[in-house]
């Protein structure tokens, strides 16, 4: 039998990869995809716990996280398109009007 | 048997995640992410969460990633050089922080391992459509409706933000 | 008895109500301000009704009755210290209540005529009612704190009323001066209150009188002395009396009410109330007597030289107050209270009479200006007056009666009270200390001078010929503008003159009757009424000495009147003043300049403090305190200029902050 800690370990690794992706890349869309990766990792750990405790609430929560992630993806990509229109680039280091 | 399945799926998941983060071409990144999600769906099946596995593929891989691909193609982004080439301060810092996060998470998991249970046998009925539907429409009805409103708002918002400016210019 | 207790809050509350109605109505409504008759009658009723209620309580009290007490609410309760809002009407305070409200209502009536032309009519009556309220709290208070509340309240009202015509800067400064000198005394009073609480554990009068036996001599000395200093501020004794002459800048009814009859007597009331404390310290009593006698003498010498009628009366008030303190210092609390009451009668009459004269002179000035004669003169200067008895008959008669009373001619009121005082001083000389004999001599000299300068004033103002046309040629024939004042002003004058005639009989000395009818006659009503309440000294003089003193004072007063008549009664005011000036030479100059006290205070007290503030404290304020505030601002500024560098505007750096924050929080939760 697979103990839960394997699943949680996998979730941790995926989460870390997502964090590194957010910190290291400068393409906005890739950053966004890394965020999706992080969300997926969290979903995984939620489902793992739900299965192991026999509690359905975890899976419901995953469902809602999924919906919210979808909404967020839509809006975020729309913003990226709007920024691209103004600056003709999705390189985040070039979008720094709010600096001191 | 399950263990081998798990190890295979896990390897695929990690590999595709790494590839997503490190690849030069944006489209390649997106496609690797799709692969990642499909493997995760498989892991869900291992955990007997059938409904969620299918939903993951349908929604995430099927809708959200398609949206991503559309945007990538609309925006026509350039390939950037491989990030591993330039060792900059930002790179090192990012890796360090990532390692710190991983360390913390592993520590957290490790300190709780002995208190965690084995896969319960009652789990057989947990991930089924009936079980989820049962709870979703009774106990979580309000969040369900609110999520619907949220999605509507998101769609409208996305439309407004991304529309062509020339449409709103007065003639 | 009990139903009389519920009258007490009504007595105190009615003037307060009058103040609120007149004050708020006049403040917010133009129409109310023009309803002058209503305002006047409302204010007078707000004082007259309490007078009737006080009479009711008075008729219900006997010599040995318990005080009528009314407890409204517990005001302060802090640990062992409690202070209530509670009033008492005992034999001592009922007397004060009666004449405060009685003379108060007469002066309210008088003011209706006197202030009729004034714009601030409503304000005046509101302030007057507020003053009566504070004064009633002072005399009716059941504990020292409520008395102090009234004490301060009358000080405030005195300030408001002296500076009533505040647009004149001199009047405003006079008001400020009065208040500041009062405050100096109040500080001493407060310290005395604290000491009483410290030693006795309570500031409620019954508790104080019960615990007085435990008071150590040292404490009693300081309490007595400090309270007396407080009284010198309020009742204008040396060294704090310089505000009273300047306070004549206020309207004459104010001078009559506050600075003759009521506020200035609150010091004497306080010391009489606390007579049990003073009985324990003969040293303080000697100090009180010496200060009182000196003040009486000094003020009388100044009064001889003054030409402004109100100033003469002001210094006369200071002098008479000195007499009262001399009485207190000789253990004659009852005699002092007696003199308070009689003095209130005749001094109020004198002030109101002078107001009537000033009113007439103002009218002359107005008429001259109306007829385009450009004449400016001081309507209060005696040298512009003379011969007014033909034109102001009621004023003249009442003024004369009051002057005879103050001079101490029997059988008018002033004679009985003054005689009792000097008898007690002589008695103290025989029983306590020979210094009192010297004070006795000083008192008799002052009595002579009192009669002298008061008749100088009367003769100079009312007898002889009208001097104004002689000094200002354009005022030729202006006597025809002089006329008597309206009934609202002359009726109080007659009432007060009548009281000056008969008021003395409440304290008719026992020994006079005892000489004729036997040793058991007790006709001194006042003595019998107050004796359970105050620690009166024993009068142990032989009857022959008492008769001797009585006859000596009569002779002294009469001779003073005769000398005054010779010098001033024959239309020779200016020559006699000149003769006086040359006769006394440098002494006269000292008296005329009020002993230079104002200049001394200014030079030795006020100026050094001002210099200190300017050179030291202002610099401290500017450099240190402002510096600290500026330092805070610049520190914040500097910190801000460092922190702003975190706002790079680049998303990835923000992402780094996110992750760092999350690590930190997780770390805290885990460890």
**Interface B-C: count of C-beta contacts within 8 A:** 19
**Residues in chain A closer than 8 A to C650 (CB atoms):** 92-93, 96, 99
B90 contacts C666? CB cut-off 8 A: no
How many Cβ atoms are within 10 Å of A3's Cβ, its own excluded? 13
Chain A stretch 21-80, residues whose beta carbon is closer than 8 A to a beta carbon of chain B: 21, 23-27, 29-30, 32-34, 36-37, 40, 43-44, 47-48, 50-57, 59-60, 62-64, 66-75, 77-80
Residue to substitute from A18, A71, A80, interface B, most B β-carbons within 10 A? A71
Question: Above pLDDT 90, what percent of chain C?
Answer: 18
A56 contacts B131? CB cut-off 8 A: yes
Q: Which residue from B90, B104, B108 is facing C652, i.e. has the nearest CB? A: B90
C650 contacts A92? CB cut-off 8 A: yes
Cα-based angle C68, C71, C77 (whole degrees, multiple of 5): 140
What 3-state DSSP class applies to C141? strand
Residue to substitute from B88, B98, B139, interface A, most A β-carbons within 10 A? B98
Cα-based angle C18, C19, C20 (whole degrees, multiple of 5): 90
Is residue C351's pLDDT more than 80? yes
Q: Please answer whether residues C533 and C91 qualify as being in contact, where contact means their C-beta atoms are separated by less than 8 angstroms.
A: yes
pLDDT digits (tens, 9 = 90+) for C138-192: 999 888 899 999 999 999 998 999 989 888 888 898 898 888 888 888 999 999 9
pLDDT digits (tens, 9 = 90+) for B27-54: 999 999 999 999 999 999 988 889 999 9
Please report which helix (H) or strand (E) contains residue C123, including its range.
helix C121-140
Q: How confident is the model at residue B171 (pLDDT cuts 50, 70, 90)?
A: very low
A57 contacts B135? CB cut-off 8 A: yes
| pLDDT for the residue numbered C89 | 85
| pLDDT for the residue numbered B82 | 60
Burial of C173 (0-12, 13-18, 19+ CB in 10 A): middle
Residue to substitute from A93, A95, A97, interface C, most C β-carbons within 10 A? A93
C652 contacts B97? CB cut-off 8 A: no
Q: How confident is the model at residue B166 (pLDDT cuts 50, 70, 90)?
A: low
B104 contacts C666? CB cut-off 8 A: yes
Q: Which residue from B101, B107, B108 is facing C659, i.e. has the nearest CB? A: B101
What is the C-alpha separation between C347 and A61, in angstroms, rounded? 96
What is the C-alpha separation between A36 and A73, in angstroms, rounded? 8
What's the rounded mean pLDDT across residues A25-52?
Answer: 91
What's the rounded mean pLDDT across residues C99-104?
Answer: 89
| pLDDT for the residue numbered B36 | 95
pLDDT digits (tens, 9 = 90+) for C403-431: 999 988 888 888 888 888 888 888 888 77
How many Cβ atoms are within 10 Å of C15's Cβ, its own excluded? 26
B100 contacts C663? CB cut-off 8 A: yes
Is residue C633's pLDDT more than 50? yes
B93 contacts C670? CB cut-off 8 A: no
What is the C-alpha separation between C329 and C292, in angstroms, rounded? 8
What is the C-alpha separation between C178 and C397, in angstroms, rounded? 32
Is residue A46's pLDDT more than 90? yes
C7 vs C537, which has greater pLDDT?
Answer: C7
Question: Above pLDDT 70, what percent of chain C?
Answer: 98
Partner B contacted by C652 (CB < 8 A): yes
Beta strands at C81-89 and C68-78: parallel, antiparallel or unpaired: antiparallel
User: Which chains sit next to C, with 3 or more Cβ pairs under 8 A?
Assistant: A, B
Residue of A nearest to B152 (CA): A71
Phi-psi region of C441 (alpha: psi -120 to 50; beta: other; left: phi over 0): alpha
Lowest pLDDT segment from A26-30, B110-114, C282-286 = B110-114
What is the C-alpha separation between C589 and C456, in angstroms, rounded? 18
Instruction: State how far residue A92 is from chain B, nearest Cα, in angstroms.
Output: 13
B46 contacts A14? CB cut-off 8 A: no
**Residues in chain C closer than 8 A to B108 (CB atoms):** 666, 670
What's the pTM?
A: 0.71
Is residue C340's pLDDT more than 50? yes
| pLDDT for the residue numbered C388 | 83
CA nearest to C399, candidates C459, C449, C341: C459
Residue to substitute from C648, C650, C651, C656, interface B, most B β-carbons within 10 A? C656
Q: Which residue from B33, B136, B140 is facing A36, i.e. has the nearest CB? A: B33
How many Cβ atoms are within 10 Å of C381's Cβ, its own excluded? 17
Q: How confident is the model at residue B122 (pLDDT cuts 50, 70, 90)?
A: low
Residue to substitute from A1, A3, A40, interface B, most B β-carbons within 10 A? A40
- Kindly give, in sequence order, each residue whose CB lies less than 8 Å from that of residue C607, ignoring residues fewer than 6 positions away: none
CA nearest to C343, candidates C312, C315, C363, C321: C321
Q: Which residue from A13, A17, A78 is facing B161, i.e. has the nearest CB? A: A78
Lowest pLDDT segment from A94-98, C265-269, C324-328, C450-454 = A94-98
B21 contacts A17? CB cut-off 8 A: yes
Burial of C533 (0-12, 13-18, 19+ CB in 10 A): buried
A23 contacts C656? CB cut-off 8 A: yes
Please report which helix (H) or strand (E) contains residue C84, including its range.
strand C81-89
Q: How confident is the model at residue C521 (pLDDT cuts 50, 70, 90)?
A: low
What is the C-alpha separation between C218 and C215, in angstroms, rounded? 8
Alpha helices (H) along C408-542 = 413-431, 435-462, 468-471, 487-502, 510-517, 525-530
B100 contacts C670? CB cut-off 8 A: no
How many Cβ atoms are within 10 Å of B149's Cβ, its own excluded? 9
Q: Which residue from A14, A17, A25 is facing B83, i.e. has the nearest CB? A: A25
What's the rounded mean pLDDT across residues C649-666?
Answer: 89
What 3-state DSSP class applies to C380? coil
A23 contacts C652? CB cut-off 8 A: yes
Partner B contacted by C664 (CB < 8 A): no
| pLDDT for the residue numbered C1 | 47
Q: Which residue from C652, C656, C670 is facing B104, i.e. has the nearest CB? A: C670
A67 contacts B63? CB cut-off 8 A: no
Mean pLDDT over the full length of chain B: 85
């Amino acid at each position: 039998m697979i103990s839960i800690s394997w699943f949680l370990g996998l979730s941790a690794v995926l989460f870390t990869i997502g964090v590194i992706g957010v910190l290291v890349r400068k393409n906005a869309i890739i950053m966004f995809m890394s965020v999706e990766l992080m969300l997926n990792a969290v979903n995984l750990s939620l489902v793992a716990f739900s299965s192991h405790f026999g509690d359905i609430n975890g899976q419901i929560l995953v469902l809602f996280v999924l919906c919210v992630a979808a909404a967020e993806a839509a809006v975020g990509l729309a913003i990226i398109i709007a920024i691209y229109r103004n600056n003709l680039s999705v390189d985040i280091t070039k979008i720094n009007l709010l600096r001191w | 048997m399950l263990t081998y399945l798990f190890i295979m799926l896990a390897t695929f998941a990690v590999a595709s995640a790494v590839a997503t983060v490190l690849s030069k071409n944006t489209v390649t990144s997106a496609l690797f992410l799709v692969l990642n999600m499909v493997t995760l769906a498989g892991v869900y099946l291992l955990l007997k969460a059938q409904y969620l596995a299918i939903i993951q593929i349908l929604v995430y891989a099927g809708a959200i990633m398609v949206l991503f691909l559309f945007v990538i193609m609309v925006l026509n982004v350039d390939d950037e050089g491989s990030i591993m080439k330039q060792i900059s301060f930002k790179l090192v810092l990012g890796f360090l922080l990532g390692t710190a996060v991983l360390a913390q998470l592993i520590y957290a998991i490790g300190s709780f391992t002995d208190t965690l249970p084995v896969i319960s046998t009652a789990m057989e009925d947990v991930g089924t459509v009936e079980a989820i539907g049962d709870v979703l429409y009774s106990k979580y009805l309000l969040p369900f409706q609110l999520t619907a409103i949220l999605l509507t708002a998101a769609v409208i918002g996305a439309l407004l933000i991304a529309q062509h400016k020339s449409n709103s210019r007065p003639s | 008895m009990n139903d009389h207790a519920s009258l007490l809050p009504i007595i105190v509350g009615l003037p307060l109500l009058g103040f609120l109605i007149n004050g708020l109505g006049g403040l917010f409504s133009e129409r109310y301000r023009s309803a002058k008759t209503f305002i006047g009658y409302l204010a007078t009723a707000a004082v007259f009704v309490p007078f009737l209620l006080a009479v009711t309580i008075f008729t219900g009290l006997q010599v040995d009755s318990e005080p009528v007490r009314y407890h409204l609410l517990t005001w302060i309760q802090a640990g062992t210290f409690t202070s209530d809002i509670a009033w008492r009407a005992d034999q001592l305070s009922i007397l004060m209540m009666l004449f405060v409200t009685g003379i108060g209502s007469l002066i309210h009536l008088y003011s209706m005529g006197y202030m009729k032309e004034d714009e601030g009519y409503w304000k005046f009556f509101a302030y007057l009612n507020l003053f009566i309220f504070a004064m009633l709290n002072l005399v009716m208070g059941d504990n020292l704190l409520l008395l102090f509340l009234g004490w301060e309240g009358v000080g405030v009202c005195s300030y408001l009323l002296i500076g009533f015509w505040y647009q004149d800067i001199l009047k405003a400064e006079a008001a400020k001066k009065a208040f500041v000198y009062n405050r100096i005394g109040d500080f001493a009073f407060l310290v005395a209150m604290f000491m009483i609480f410290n030693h006795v554990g309570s500031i409620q009068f019954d508790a104080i009188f019960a615990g007085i036996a435990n008071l150590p001599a040292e404490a009693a000395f300081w309490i007595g002395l400090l309270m007396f200093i407080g009284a010198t501020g309020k009742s204008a004794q040396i060294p704090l009396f310089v505000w009273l002459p300047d306070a004549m800048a206020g309207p004459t009814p104010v001078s009559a009410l506050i600075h003759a009859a009521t506020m200035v007597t609150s010091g004497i009331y306080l010391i009489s109330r606390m007579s049990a404390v003073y009985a324990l310290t003969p040293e303080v009593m000697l100090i009180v007597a010496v200060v009182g006698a000196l003040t009486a003498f000094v003020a009388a010498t100044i009064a001889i030289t003054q030409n402004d009628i109100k100033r003469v009366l002001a210094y006369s008030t200071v002098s008479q107050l000195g007499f009262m303190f001399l009485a207190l210092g000789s253990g004659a609390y009852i005699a002092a209270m007696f003199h308070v009451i009689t003095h209130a009668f005749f001094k109020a009459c004198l002030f109101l009479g002078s107001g009537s004269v000033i009113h007439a002179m103002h009218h002359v000035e107005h008429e001259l200006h109306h007829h385009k004669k450009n004449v400016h003169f001081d309507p209060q200067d005696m040298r512009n007056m003379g011969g007014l008895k033909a034109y102001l008959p009621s004023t003249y008669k009442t003024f004369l009666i009051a002057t005879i009373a103050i001079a101490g001619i029997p059988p008018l009121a002033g004679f009985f009270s003054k005689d009792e005082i000097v008898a007690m001083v002589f008695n103290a000389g025989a029983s306590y200390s020979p210094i009192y004999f010297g004070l006795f001599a000083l008192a008799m000299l002052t009595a002579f001078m009192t009669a002298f300068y008061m008749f100088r004033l009367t003769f100079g103002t009312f007898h002889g010929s009208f001097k104004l046309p002689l000094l200002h040629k354009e005022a030729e024939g202006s006597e025809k503008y002089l006329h008597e004042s309206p009934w609202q002003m002359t009726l109080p004058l007659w009432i007060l003159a009548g009281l000056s005639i008969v008021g003395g009989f409440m304290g008719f000395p026992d020994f006079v009757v005892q000489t004729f009818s036997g040793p058991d006659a007790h006709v001194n009503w006042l003595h019998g009424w107050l004796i359970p309440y105050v620690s009166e000294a024993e009068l142990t003089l032989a009857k022959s000495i008492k008769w001797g003193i009585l006859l000596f004072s009569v002779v002294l007063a009469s001779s003073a009147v005769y000398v005054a008549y010779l010098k001033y009664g024959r239309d020779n005011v200016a020559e006699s003043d000149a003769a006086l000036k040359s006769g006394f030479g440098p002494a006269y100059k000292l008296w005329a300049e009020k002993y230079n006290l104002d200049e001394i205070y200014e030079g030795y007290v006020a100026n050094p403090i001002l210099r200190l503030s300017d050179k030291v404290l202002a610099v401290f304020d500017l450099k240190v305190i402002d510096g600290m505030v500026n330092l805070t601002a610049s520190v914040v500024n500097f910190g801000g200029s460092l922190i702003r560098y975190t706002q790079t505007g680049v998303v990835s750096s923000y992402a780094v902050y996110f992750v760092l924050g999350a690590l930190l929080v997780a770390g805290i939760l885990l460890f």
